[in-house]
Chain A
Amino acid sequence: MKIHHRAGSIFWLAVGIYTAISAYRLGLGSFRQPGPGFIFFLMALLLTILSAIDLGSTFTGKSKPDKDKRDEPLWLGVRWQKVLLVLVGISVYIYVFNFLGFLFSTFLLMIFLFKAVEPTKWWVSILASVITILISYGIFKLWLKVPFPSGFMGF
């Protein structure tokens, strides 16, 4: 599956090129007095050259993909949809955190996490969520004095 290997190299190649151009714009300075973009440019150059070599190796056959685990299909036989689901859940949580407040938004998130990935009984999910929130509230809010948002409902 050289395609995965190539995809990784192309991503970093793009990151390298973008960083190098932006660093150049920041100002490289001189060797006597390096500017703010100097270290970025050096590193981006290194990243670009190496990712080009890495990409090139997939065409010249030096990457030995058949001996490598890179040969394994990356997205087949795994539950990447569950990962996506959890990712969306957390993104929504971050979005509504200040609006709904810590207690309510975290309660909803915990119920979601307990139910979304593996089938868990409702009472187990609710009980585990309540216990988790109480413990985390005790540690972070009461002990470490983290000022959690109260949300529109005031708690």
Chain B
Amino acid sequence: MEILHNLFLGFQEIFLLENLLYCFVGVFIGTLIGVLPGIGPVGAMSLLLPATYKVSPLASVIMLAGIYYGAMYGGSTTSILVNIPGEAASVVTCLDGYQMARQGRAGPALGIAAFGSFIAGSLALVGLMLVAPPLASIALRFGPPEYFSLMCLGLTILIYLASGSIIRAIMMAAFGVIIGCIGQDPETGSSRFVFGIPDLLDGIGLAPFVMGLFGISEVFLNIEQSLKERNILSTKIKGLLPNWQDWKDSIKPILRGSVLGFFLGILPGGGAVISSFASYAVEKKVSKHPEKFGKGAIEGVAGPESANNAASEGAFVPLLTLGIPPNVVMALLLGALMIHGITPGPLLIPKHPEIFWGVIASMYLGNAMLLVLNLPLIGMWVQVLKVPYKILFPLILLFCLIGAYSINNSTFDVAIMLVFGVLGYLMRKYKFEGAPMVLAFVLGPMLENSLRQSLLLSDGSFLIFFTRPISAGGMIVTFLMLISCIIPTLRRKREVIPTEER
């Protein structure tokens, strides 16, 4: 009963006009971003981060969350119609979705992707409602050593899942912590790495940092290639409602994808990309006709599309209950909340129930909005696909520039963004990953605080991380994962895991 009462409280919040508007804006922009190749959900969220400073904390999280799960919906459209995934979590949808479109079944493919996402999103919300409050009450007993080891674990899993060299991923995480801690020392007040620039005393802002690293660098990478027009299937899309046979084939993959995605989303470092690939692998394994996969099997669309949506909502569990973002997207949400003076963690639900339950209610409503946006308006999204990149990139750049300026009304933030844009561009060219750096950047100050507090508690002994059960568990798993990267067989397996959203 308490859950229903709290959910009612959440709906009271979401039905305020401002929150409704930001929910719609979020899912709308999310769909748009998902449809447009060349900018991913992380880039879009970072672009709009400054805009959220002026609104209430709940409205800002509602909008950013909407962008994230909206992009999961929209990403399927380009995968199916153009064979280009709008964002990383839709890569696997290309395999069967595009084949269905070529066989004249683009409508059912788009339809089942939208319905599957809706069902999975709704089921994942039930999971979030049931799992988060008890987990938060357990987390109340956590001290600095537990937090330190959990943050190390989160970072290590992200590093483990990073594509390419693990050494380079750890290097980027280390650099992320360094730049995350720039500014005044919270204990002594001494300035650290500010180079005599007063603007740096408060540290490097999250928004200019991520906008540069993901937004600007993405544009740079795109304009160094020839800006070719995309080929879009010219056949008329008809029959968006899947038929009885389509539903019969899809319902089990949708349910399996929902459960799998939700639990993979909860794991630190896990996320929508991993879950969509895992769901595809599971569906192919359990199917009576695995040979149909890759040739237009509707199960290959329904399962992964459901899984990536469920995962995007499962990822809220560690953020809202422990205050630890499991991936970069959640790190941005954490940053957005902290800017408003709200620290996500075990005390979030008792102290700010309106935020937790408001976000949950907004996702129910957002999922419904997405269904309306994605099915009847599919023709509009197809038109958006035709916008040439030479028109699009100046707009993206301008939004980044104005967005960075509006944070402190200073061109210093714009310059910072440009510096990280160049760094991000070079990093991508030289195969260094940005995701571990961003997560480490956000976790850096918390990591430093919990390390210092733990050492103070233990009188300088690092053994404190191994004498408390939860902390010891986290540290042991962290070390095991790092060691496993050295073992050749496991290393090879790691290398085939797809890249996490960047």
Instruction: Show the binding face of A for B, using Cβ within 8 Å.
Output: 4-5, 7-8, 12, 15-16, 19, 22, 26-27, 30-40, 43-44, 46-47, 50-51, 53-54, 57, 68-70, 74, 78-80, 82-83, 86-87, 90-91, 93-94, 97-98, 106, 109-110, 113-114, 117-118, 120, 128, 132, 136, 140, 144-148
Contacts and interface: CB of A to CB of B under 8 A. Distances in A.
A94 B390 contact: no
Given A33-B456, A50-B174, A74-B430, A146 B405 contact: yes
Interface of B: 51, 54, 165, 167-168, 170-171, 174-175, 177-178, 181, 185, 187-188, 190, 192-193, 219-220, 223-227, 390-391, 393-395, 397-399, 401-402, 405-406, 409, 411, 414-415, 418, 422, 425, 429-432, 444, 447-448, 451-452, 455-456, 459-462
A97 B413 CA distance: 13
Given A83-B224, A113-B397, A54 B165 contact: yes
Given A32-B460, A34-B451, A37-B192, A144 B422 contact: no
9 contacts: A12-B171, A26-B190, A35-B188, A39-B447, A79-B223, A86-B397, A109-B398, A110-B398, A128-B394
Nearest to B195: A22
A54 B171 contact: yes
A109 to B, nearest CB: 7
A53 B447 CA distance: 25
Given A36-B188, A39-B451, A51 B390 contact: no
B220 A83 contact: yes
A78 B225 contact: yes
Nearest to B409: A147
A54 to B, nearest CB: 5
Contact of A47 (B171, B224, B395): B171
Given A36-B185, A43-B177, A83-B223, A31 B430 contact: no
Contact of B430 (A7, A90, A94, A136): A7
A131 B244 CA distance: 47
B227 A118 contact: yes
Contacts of B430: 4-5, 7-8, 70, 74
B223 A117 contact: yes
A94 B414 contact: yes
A121 B449 CA distance: 55
B406 A144 contact: yes
A5 B165 CA distance: 11
Contacts of B174: 16, 43-44, 46-47, 50
B415 A94 contact: yes
B224 A44 contact: no
A34 B455 contact: yes
A97 B415 CA distance: 12
Contacts of B414: 94, 97
A106 to B, nearest CB: 7
